[in-house]
């Protein structure tokens, strides 16, 4: 449905986005992750035709995406911006009208949306009287209320407390069930794990990881071992391939292996006298992968 092909953008001699390609189908959610300055916002702006790529193209339903299609889009930009002196209701109506909706269509929906996002304020209140998080929720409503088919959210979770983050996750899932194609960026890997069908990680403008979260995690091998057994950390460190061994605050020993196969010898030694309560070999978490990949030197 949305396809980006070989997008590239330079600012002077700096390459902000370098040859990025992906596809998002109807009803699919894609996450875009990467350190500050990795190129996420620049990618969003190119998709939305707010920036012209130096190279590459963006197709929406097989045709070039131009800002004529804006009525089909819901975009939460990184720089939040509402009119502080305008009431919540007028603000929502104004933005919906910009997207081609009539007041008559949107007005009856507003109470329901304010309730869905638990906005603390009355619809006649001026936006400036709301807390920052509540202002952000109003802006999210202006992004979603016209039922866009393409939703682009630049760090929508930043500044939301965990309860409101859950409400937003629900809102995003509902838009997905309604068939929208959704992309969002986030620095919170829990939100990414919870929502994304697919994921792209950018580093210095380059696409260094892509796929479903499971596929990405499995690429790194099952190198995290969680163990409750008679083996001490000192004993574990003697096994081939063991890089680290430490007891965590729950009393479970966490072992970092060089490769998945290194777990076998430990399993045999740990179970030689029979039952042990924990032996679990897992790929690294998305957060660990992010830190590892972001920290690696750019070639
Ligand atoms: P963050 O997580 O901090 O929001 P990001 O991944 O969204 O970062 P971008 O805003 O896309 O990153 O920026 C990518 C790079 O392009 C950065 O080095 C940034 O300084 C540069 N850049 C972005 N916009 C411009 C511009 N208009 N002119 C010059 N450089 C720019």
Q: What are the pLDDT digits (tens) for 4-19?
A: 999 999 999 999 999 9
| Cβ of 39 below 6 Å from ligand 1 | yes
pLDDT of 297: 56
Radius of gyration, alpha carbons of the chain: 23
Phi/psi at 125 (5° precision) = -70, 145
Name 75's bridge partners: 152
Q: Is the CB of 45 under 6 A from ligand 1?
A: no
pLDDT score recorded for residue 299: 45
Is residue 284 helix, strand or coil?
A: coil
CATH of segment(s) 221-282: 3.30.70.980
pLDDT range class, residue 216, cuts 50, 70, 90: very high
CA of 202 to the centre of ligand 1 (A): 12
Fold of 2-217: Rossmann fold (3.40.50)
In order, the DSSP letters of 68-89 are GGGGGEEEE-SS----TTSBHH
- Rounded to 5 degrees, φ, ψ at 143 are -80, -30
What's the token pair of residue 115?
A: 């309730």
What local confidence, expressed as pLDDT, does residue 170 receive? 94
Pairing of strands 29-33, 181-185: parallel
Q: How many whole angstroms from 267 Cα to the centroid of ligand 1?
A: 47
Helices (H), the chain: 40-47, 88-98, 103-106, 110-116, 132-144, 162-177, 189-195, 213-219, 233-237, 263-270, 286-295
pLDDT digits (tens, 9 = 90+) for 280-294: 999 999 998 998 888
The answer to whether 32 and 185 are in contact (CB under 8 A) is yes
pLDDT tens by residue, 135-178 = 999 999 999 999 999 999 999 999 899 999 999 999 999 999 99
Give the DSSP letter of residue 126: B
Nearest CA to ligand 1 atom 11: 39
Short-list 215, 245, 204, 211, CA closest to 228: 245
Q: From the CB of 15, is ligand 1 less than 6 Å away?
A: no
C-beta 32 within 6 A of ligand 1 = no
Helix (H, G, I), strand (E, B) or coil at 226: strand
- Where along the chain do its domains lie? 2-217, 221-282
What contacts 250, CB < 8 A, 6 or more positions away? Answer: none
- Cα-to-centroid distance, 182 and ligand 1 (Å): 21
Q: Are 179 and 27 in contact (CB under 8 A)?
A: yes
**How far is ligand 1, taken at its centre, from the CA of residue 188, in Å?**
19
Ligand 1 pocket: which of 16, 34, 200 to mutate (most atoms within 8 A of CB): 16
Q: Is 41 in the pocket of ligand 1 (CB under 6 A)?
A: yes
Decide: 38 in ligand 1 pocket, CB within 6 A: yes
Structure tokens at 125: 């209140």
Separation of 11 CA from ligand 1 center, angstroms?
9
Q: Using a 6 Å cutoff on CB, does residue 121 contact ligand 1?
A: no
Q: Do residues 46 and 19 lie in contact, with contact meaning Cβ atoms separated by under 8 Å?
A: no
Q: Is the CB of 201 under 6 A from ligand 1?
A: no
Shortest-distance Cα residue to atom 19 of ligand 1: 37
């Amino acid at each position: 449905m949305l396809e980006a092909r070989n997008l590239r953008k330079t600012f002077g001699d700096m390459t902000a986005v370098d040859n990025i390609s992906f596809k998002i189908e109807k009803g699919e959610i894609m996450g875009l992750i990467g350190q500050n300055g990795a190129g996420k916002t620049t990618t969003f702006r190119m998709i939305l035709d707010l920036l012209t790529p130096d190279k590459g193209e963006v197709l929406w339903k097989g045709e070039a995406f131009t800002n004529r299609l804006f009525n089909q889009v819901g975009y939460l930009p990184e720089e939040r911006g509402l009119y502080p002196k305008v009431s919540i209701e007028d603000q929502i109506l104004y933005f919906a009208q910009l997207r081609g909706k009539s007041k008559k269509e949107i007005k009856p929906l507003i109470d329901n949306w304010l309730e869905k996002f638990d906005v603390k304020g009355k619809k006649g209140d001026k936006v400036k009287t709301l807390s920052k998080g509540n202002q952000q929720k109003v802006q999210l409503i202006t992004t979603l209320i016209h039922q866009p088919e393409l939703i682009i959210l630049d760090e929508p979770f930043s500044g939301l407390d965990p309860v409101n983050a859950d409400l937003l996750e629900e809102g995003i899932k509902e838009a997905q069930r309604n068939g929208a194609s959704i992309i969002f960026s986030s620095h919170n890997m829990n939100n990414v794990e919870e929502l994304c069908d697919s994921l792209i990680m950018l580093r210095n403008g380059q696409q260094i990881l892509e796929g479903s979260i499971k596929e990405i995690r499995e690429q790194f091998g099952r190198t995290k071992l969680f163990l409750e057994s008679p083996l001490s950390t000192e004993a574990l460190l003697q096994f081939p391939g063991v890089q680290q061994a430490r007891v965590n605050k729950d009393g479970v020993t966490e072992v970092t292996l060089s490769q998945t196969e290194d777990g076998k010898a430990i399993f045999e030694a740990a179970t030689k006298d029979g039952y042990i309560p924990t032996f679990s070999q897992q790929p690294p978490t998305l957060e660990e992968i992010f830190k590892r990949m972001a920290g690696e030197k750019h070639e």
